[in-house]
């Protein structure tokens, strides 16, 4: 990919895929690094999935203020069904910092 790589939409998805794989494997530092870098690429800001994974990585690293911000961006962009496959601890956390957060995954368990 030609420089600057951050000008290419493909970079967004490559970094997102790497960051997602990092997160799912438990390497939250690498996930944070790749997903943060993706945010400088086209169509990343406002993408609910990217905000979700970045917020989750921030949460796991103990960066709770940043986690709340990113998770709220994800919450606003995703419907409740999208959270069903995620650990309910993220919505539980978000509910402690914002009013009106519904944890649909808790209703089904």
Interval 51-101: pLDDT, tens: 999 999 999 999 999 999 999 999 999 877 788 889 999 999 999 998 888
> pTM (2 decimals)?
0.90
Tokens read off for 12: 């967004």
Judge whether residue 43 has pLDDT over 70. yes
Contacting residues for 53 by C-beta, under 8 A, at least 6 apart: 16, 19, 20, 23, 31, 35
CA–CA separation, 81 and 40 (whole Å): 28
How big is the CA angle at 15 (ends 82 and 83), to the nearest 5 degrees? 10
Q: How far is CA 76 from CA 46, 65, 72, 109, in A?
A: 10, 17, 6, 23
User: What confidence tens digit (pLDDT) does each residue in 9-35 have?
Assistant: 999 999 999 999 999 999 999 999 999
């Amino acid at each position: 990919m030609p420089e600057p790589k951050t000008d290419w939409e493909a970079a967004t998805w490559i970094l997102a895929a790497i960051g997602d794989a990092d997160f799912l494997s438990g390497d939250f530092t690498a996930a944070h690094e790749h997903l943060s870098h993706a945010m400088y690429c086209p169509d990343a800001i406002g993408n609910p999935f990217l905000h979700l994974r970045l917020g989750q990585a921030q949460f796991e690293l103990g960066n709770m203020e940043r986690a709340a911000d990113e998770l709220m961006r994800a919450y606003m962009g995703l419907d409740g069904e999208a959270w069903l496959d995620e650990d309910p601890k993220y919505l539980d956390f978000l509910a402690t910092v914002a009013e009106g957060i519904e944890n649909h995954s808790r209703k089904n368990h």
